[in-house]
Structure 1
Amino acid sequence: MNIPTNKFTLLALLWFGAGVYSLVFREAESGAPPFAHFDKIAHFALFFGQFWLIAKALMQARQAIPYTALLACAVLFAAGSETAQALFTQTRQGSAADALADIAGAASALWLAHKVTAAKLLPKAKQP
């Protein structure tokens, strides 16, 4: 698979860097979250954004989206990020629930990409 060179690839790389920074290199702020399970929504959104940008880069380049491989990458990235949080940060902890939220975000993005791709492939209705 060729890596597409478009703005979505650049955005995906920037998003990845920001995600690694926010999950591993930036210590958690003390204080109560805005609402219960806020961190799960943040994990879901972070992975949704990452995998949507990857899929969008492939769609724009008219390349097939390797859904299974991307989902496997999401599982590895989720496990790696949670392990890194547990081992290398003082104010964060690794959590299986956070990893599940990560994977759910990636799976949702890939599901949406599949639906968008399928809709683009449908033949246009004939107009009278």
Structure 2
Amino acid sequence: MRMPNNRFVLFAVLWFMAAVYSLLFRESDGGAPPFAHFDKVAHFALFFAQFWLLAKAFMQDRLAVPYRLLFVSAVLVAAGSEMAQALFTRTREGSIADGLADVFGAAVALWLAYKVSAAKRAVKKTA
């Protein structure tokens, strides 16, 4: 499998580093969230952006997006993230619900990438 080499790879790496920092190295301030289940929305958005950037990197270089590999990676990173939060932080906790929000965010990003790729292929065939 050929790996992409474009700005979206850099963006994905930077996003991952920011996520690791915010989830593991920056302790929670304990303030009230803006609305109920805000943390689930944040987890969804974090993984959506990460896996959209990864899929976009493949699409930008006109490479086949490895959807299964990316989805399995999302599940493993979500599990690792939640375990790390439970084991290595004092003000955060690992949560199955947060892990599910992570995986759902990645799944939606990959589904959207699939739809965008399919639409581009359909337009290319008709042109």
Normalized against structure 1, the TM-score is what? Answer: 0.95
Per-residue Cα deviation, 1:52-91 (whole angstroms, up to 9, x for no partner):
0000000001110111111000000000000000000000
Q: Which residue of 2 aligns with 1:74?
A: 74
Q: Which residue of 1 aligns with 2:110?
A: 110
Q: Which residue of 2 aligns with 1:30?
A: 30
Give the superposition deviation at 1:30: 1.5
The answer for unaligned runs of 5 or more in structure 1 is: none
Normalized against structure 2, the TM-score is what? Answer: 0.96
> In 1, distance between residues paired with 2:43 and 2:126?
43
SS in 1 for 2:81: helix
> In 1, distance between residues paired with 2:54 and 2:125?
30
Q: Report the structure, 1 or 2, having the larger helix content.
A: 2
Which 10-residue stretch deviates more, 8-17 or 117-126? 117-126
> In 1, distance between residues paired with 2:113 and 2:76?
20
* RMSD of aligned residue pairs (Cα, Å): 1.4
Please list, as runs of the form range in 1=range in 2, the aligned pairs for 1:1-128 lying within 5 A after superposition: 1-123=1-123
> In 2, distance between residues paired with 1:27 and 1:43?
16
How many residue pairs align between the two structures?
A: 127
Percent of aligned positions with the same letter in both sequences?
67
The answer for unaligned runs of 5 or more in structure 2 is: none
Distance 1:118 1:125, change over 3 A: closer
